[in-house]
Amino acid sequence: MGRLEIDRLRKTFGRGGDKVEAVSELSLSVADGELLVLVGPSGCGKSTTLNCIAGLESVTEGEVVIDGEVVTEKRPEDRDIAMVFQNYALYPHMTAAGNLEFGLKMTTDLSAANRRERVESTAELLDIGELLDKKPKSLSGGQKQRVALGRAIIRDPAVFLMDEPLSNLDASLRSTMRTEIQQLQDDLDVTTVYVTHDQTEAMTMADRIAIMYEGELQQVGQPLECYYRPRNKFVAEFIGEPAMNMLRVTRRGDQFVADGFEYPVPERADGLPSGEPFTLGVRPGAIDIVEPETGVATGTVEVVEPLGETSHAHLNIADTTVTVTTDGPGSVEEGTQVDIDFPAQRAHLFDAGSGVAVARRDGLPGDQTESYPNPRYD
Ligand SMILES: Nc1ncnc2c1ncn2[C@@H]1O[C@H](COP(=O)(O)OP(=O)(O)OP(=O)(O)O)[C@@H](O)[C@H]1O
Ligand SMILES: [Mg+2]
């Protein structure tokens, strides 16, 4: 069992004029066996949150609760959690086996034979049997990270905490390890909070993601829910690659207008006041290039980035850059003019001041008749 609750967590560093509020009023529940990914840009308070859960930082206000028990004042070793760090934090003078065994020695009264058994079964699980006698300095980054994972798993904790465990690995190893951690977490069924600033990692691994910005929680939900129904402009821009295009528009009657752009107000946005400014968001993959004179805007293709199957075309529409995901080579030419359009369902609208989403779409694709491209690509 490992249900984790964070209740109105606040953490400030320093005092007086130097005071930094790293985490503000953060409340989150992580279900037993769930993989929650905490994601956000550098400095948004992810590590601080994780350290407060682990007990490595004291909290300023709020509670951390594991399986109904308030652990806020407990020492890290009394919390039934295990943590994996970006820099592995292995003991350099111990072999991989020694590193795996160390936590067991400290926190359990298992016999040496039982400990050895646990080391071996964990090593088998992670496929690091042949590394057991090696010291960290003779291991590669990926191998060190496996040993670090092993050291956490072996303790069979109620909650796993991982702080950017894959950031030091190269791109291809990172994607392999991503899948492995996900499978491992699923097999072991351990409640996990996984911190990353990488939205792809968050989207692909998480049962739910929690998006933070400047110490505040912006949205919690299933990855595709956050992708298709972002609660605010920050989430909309943070999730999805390349980022959602944002256009400053004003409602004029039944159109949203901007320089060089006119878009019919979607039905669900009918209630929004005329004469007011809004931000209209649309993802690069939602935009179609259409026949001349039939689009909602005409843009000049400034740059085309070929990716193979698709390209990213950056258009200039009255001095605003709009990125469009197009078909591969030859579909658009730099320097030409193209017309664009996109389905009303895929237009996002945000309050121009607060950035809060207004007139959000209902439901997610799947219950729609339109076909949607692979959201990981979009
Ligand atoms: N020990 C500390 N003393 C003072 N300020 C701190 C301390 N630790 C973190 N902070 C500040 O708290 C804020 C949140 O930091 P935190 O390390 O939690 O961010 P993060 O989301 O993990 O960022 P990153 O992605 O760069 O690791 C930052 O403004 C940081 O400068
Ligand atoms: Mg951090």
Q: Is the distance from the beta carbon of residue 268 to the nearest atom of ligand 1 less than 6 Å?
A: no
pLDDT of residue 310: 94
pLDDT of residue 371: 36
Q: Which residue has a Cα nearest atom 16 of ligand 1? A: 45
Segment 317-357, tens digit of pLDDT: 999 999 999 998 888 999 999 999 999 999 999 999 999 99
pLDDT at 41 over 80: yes
356: DSSP letter = B
Q: Which residues contact 155 (CB under 8 A, 6 or more apart)?
A: 82, 103, 104, 107, 108
pLDDT band of residue 103 (cuts 50, 70, 90) is: confident
pLDDT band of residue 369 (cuts 50, 70, 90) is: very low
pLDDT at 99 over 80: yes
pLDDT of residue 15: 85
Q: How far is the CA of 198 from the centre of ligand 2 (A)?
A: 12
Q: Is the distance from the beta carbon of residue 211 to the nearest atom of ligand 1 less than 6 Å?
A: no
- Domain residue ranges in the chain: 4-233, 235-367
At 275 the three-state DSSP class reads coil
Q: How far is the CA of 147 from the centre of ligand 2 (A)?
A: 21
> What whole-number distance in Å separates Cα of residue 287 and Cα of residue 22?
38
Q: How far is the CA of 107 from the centre of ligand 2 (A)?
A: 27
pLDDT of residue 368: 41
pLDDT at 376 over 70: no
Q: What is the rounded average pLDDT of the residues 165-177? A: 87
The neighbour count for residue 52, using CB atoms within 10 Å, is: 24
Q: Is the distance from the beta carbon of residue 43 to the nearest atom of ligand 1 less than 6 Å?
A: yes
Highest mean pLDDT among 61-75, 110-124, 159-173: 61-75
Radius of gyration of the chain (CA): 24
Per the CB < 8 A criterion, the answer to whether 291 and 340 are in contact is: no
pLDDT at 315 over 80: yes
pLDDT at 374 over 80: no
> What whole-number distance in Å separates Cα of residue 123 and Cα of residue 226?
36
At 129, list the tokens.
Answer: 């049997």
φ, ψ of residue 177 to 5 degrees: the values are -65, -35
| DSSP symbols for 56-123 | SS--SEEEEEETTEE-TTS-GGGS-EEEE-TT----TTS-HHHHHHHHHHHH----HHHHHHHHHHHH
CATH topology of domain 4-233: Rossmann fold (3.40.50)
pLDDT band of residue 118 (cuts 50, 70, 90) is: very high
Among 265, 199, 266, CA closest to 46: 199
pLDDT of residue 366: 59
pLDDT at 312 over 90: yes
Q: Which numbered ligand comes closest to the C-alpha of 53?
A: 1
Segment 290-299, tens digit of pLDDT: 999 999 999 9
Q: What is the rounded average pLDDT of the residues 166-178? A: 87
More confident position, 1 or 95: 95
Q: Is the distance from the beta carbon of residue 20 to the nearest atom of ligand 1 less than 6 Å?
A: yes
H or E element at residue 143: helix 141-153
At 299, list the tokens.
Answer: 């843009």
Segment 215-258, tens digit of pLDDT: 999 999 999 999 999 999 999 999 999 999 999 999 999 999 99
Q: Which CATH superfamily is domain 235-367 in?
A: Nucleic acid-binding proteins (2.40.50.140)
φ, ψ of residue 116 to 5 degrees: the values are -60, -40
Give 198-203's long-range contacts (Cβ < 8 A, gap of 24+): 198/39, 198/167, 199/39, 199/238, 199/239, 199/240, 199/241, 200/241, 200/376, 201/37, 201/39, 201/166, 201/174, 202/37, 202/39, 202/239, 203/227, 203/239, 203/375, 203/376
Q: Is the distance from the beta carbon of residue 18 to the nearest atom of ligand 1 less than 6 Å?
A: no
pLDDT of residue 87: 86
Per the CB < 8 A criterion, the answer to whether 145 and 88 are in contact is: yes
Q: How far is the CA of 50 from the centre of ligand 2 (A)?
A: 9
Choose one of 10, 24, 47 to mutate for the ligand 1 pocket test, by most ligand atoms within 8 angstroms of C-beta: 47
Q: Is the distance from the beta carbon of residue 24 to the nearest atom of ligand 1 less than 6 Å?
A: no
Q: How far is the CA of 171 from the centre of ligand 2 (A)?
A: 19
At 218, list the tokens.
Answer: 């912006």
pLDDT of residue 168: 84
Per the CB < 8 A criterion, the answer to whether 200 and 44 are in contact is: no
The runs of H, that is alpha helices, within 154-211 are: 171-188, 199-205
Q: How far is the CA of 48 from the centre of ligand 1 (A)?
A: 6
pLDDT of residue 47: 97
Q: Is the distance from the beta carbon of residue 294 to the nearest atom of ligand 1 less than 6 Å?
A: no
Q: For strand 297-306 and strand 337-341, is the pairing parallel, antiparallel, or unpaired? A: antiparallel
The residues pairing with 109 across neighbouring beta strands, listed in sequence order, are none
pLDDT at 124 over 60: yes
Q: How far is the CA of 24 from the centre of ligand 1 (A)?
A: 13
> What whole-number distance in Å separates Cα of residue 132 and Cα of residue 121?
12
Per the CB < 8 A criterion, the answer to whether 10 and 65 are in contact is: no
pLDDT at 7 over 70: yes
How buried is residue 371: exposed, middle or buried, by Cβ count under 10 Å (0-12/13-18/19+)?
A: exposed
Q: What percent of the chain has pLDDT over 90?
A: 77
Average pLDDT, the chain: 91
